[in-house]
Structure 1
């Protein structure tokens, strides 16, 4: 069950007007197409692990759990500090956790749900007692600054939850989870170069921009709505919830058109769909935990509220989960 929640954003805020100074765009154009007004960008001295550790510290404070009580750290990220090793051991070290289990999960914007499912399984098996699950990104570092289609959308940040064992009737209980993937769509959301198979960012097959993130937006839009809607419906059925039983939809904050269309497809009124994309942009794996913490800070959730979480990302990957909100105070 969820016992604590926290988040961390970089200090530098970049508004749409800031971007319009170097791109052929405007505040009106960006808002109309994405719903985004601002995003946060990490400076050169801030790593993904710094944001992850900051979010984890706040989640631990929210759970009233000392670092000594943590036995596992899972970091969902597309932008690790370095290709090797994983970022999670660095986060554990920054938190002063000692020799705990620590590893990364890579499923792009679905990464937090994949990490949540992994943590739940570890706890259910008895392999872990308290797991810190973090979604953290410095996505700005893999964006082409001249590409209007991506550079206006994404931001940096981190969100985290603390998971512990519990009972199904407790506020904070994590219900059914569903994950999926389709590798035939690998090129729809990708960074083409940089892996062992394509190490040269300026290779003939990728061009000089091969090191940058690319996305086929129109195809992704419809696939995201379809896949998130389907897996959300399945999770509702497994949880025994009707659509009207859901207090809040917390979906990946891709852009406002996707979240609005998804809520409509599921049948959830717009006022019960959590949104913070205007303030932080699309933060990939950090998106859902950031939205949870920001909504919690605004006291939108009450203990026992039924939340439906769902995400879609590169891979292609997707997932959904049912969650009842815990009785925790904002930090």
Structure 2
């Protein structure tokens, strides 16, 4: 007797995904350490010694997170040679939208000219881009999406107390984006992600208004826990540390970036592995920092198409994620 129950159709997926193009956008306004020393008790040397930042970009009051997201997403589509009409999913990692609704992703998609995509924001703070890239890749492999646009965008200056020198010197504004599509061969490795919710009080919004972080505790956590996550991401992709051409950690603090690179080299990463240091001139842009760094490095020629990139993000939550991918 035939079973009368209907069966679900299996969607047509793909065996692999890859990044097709990247783009970025930042405010025009450059703020140096000397500029900050005029409004708070700090100095150029003090900032360079502690976090490695030389300058950062601050948005004007009338410039919005969605403005930078639109510019970065448009640039990524142009880089990929993909028409907006081909995109069916928009994922926008961020943690600084001034209101929960409407979300940023639908607004950005409409302004770019993407017709009726699935669109959602994703909040994993500074790990957001790696989370978004992992979700986009898996959606395409499952057959739920054909081409996805992932945009990490932040306007952190709206959420920073200008009198709090520990945090005001770090955070900045900008956006970075990647177009993700199907590929015959895997170009994006599995995402390895997680969270340490017991440490949630290390980074939070004070009085629901200003970002606060316990800097020393976050520093100790990141310098001890993130390199092992990066190694797990390589193992999940069937890679060895020596395979990595480019390391792009979240640009939280140059000392953290250097510590992660040192630990990976101790595990076999090459001495000539290129390490992102975009924080020097962009500051900490949270979910935008990894795609911003990638786009800047490509434009500078320090990263080239075909290079194997290892990205790892980490931040409030405490959330973390990493994956290996091939540079477009």
Q: Same fold (TM over 0.5)?
A: yes
1:15-35 CA distances to partner (integer Å, 9 max, x unpaired)? 111100011011111111111
Q: CA deviation at 1:138?
A: 0.2
Q: How do residues 295-310 of structure 1 correspond to structure 2 at under 5 angstroms?
A: 295-310=297-312
Larger-Rg structure = 2
Q: Does residue 242 of structure 2 align to residue 244 of structure 1? A: yes
Match of 1:131 in 2: 148
Work out the CA distance in 1 between the residues paired with 2:175 and 2:83.
20
Q: How does 1:88-103 map to 2 (within 5 A)?
A: 88-103=105-120
Would you say 1:164 and 2:181 are equivalent positions?
A: yes
Could you say which residue in structure 1 is the equivalent of 2:169?
152
Report the TM-score when normalising by structure 2.
0.91
Root mean square deviation of aligned Cα: 1.2
Gaps of 5+ in 2: 1-17
- Counterparts in 2 of 1:193 and 1:167: CA distance versus 1, 3 Å: farther
Q: How is 1:1-331 mapped onto 2 (pairs within 5 angstroms)?
A: 1-168=18-185, 173-194=187-208, 211-267=209-265, 268=269, 269=271, 272-326=274-328
In structure 1, what is the Cα distance between the partners aligned to 2:250 and 2:207? 26
* Ranges of 4+ aligned residues in structure 1 off by more than 4 Å: none
**In the alignment, is the contact (CA less than 8 A) between 1:263 and 1:270 conserved in 2?**
no
* Residues in 2 aligned to 1:5 and 1:66: alpha-carbon distance in whole angstroms: 14
- Gap change, CA 1:13 and 1:95, over 3 Å in 2: same
Segments of 5+ residues of structure 1 without an aligned counterpart are 195-210, 327-331
Task: Please give the secondary structure, in 1, of the residue aligned with 2:252.
Answer: coil
Aligned residues: 307
- DSSP-derived class of the 2:207 partner: coil
**For residues 114 and 144 of structure 2, what CA distance do their matches in structure 1 show?**
17
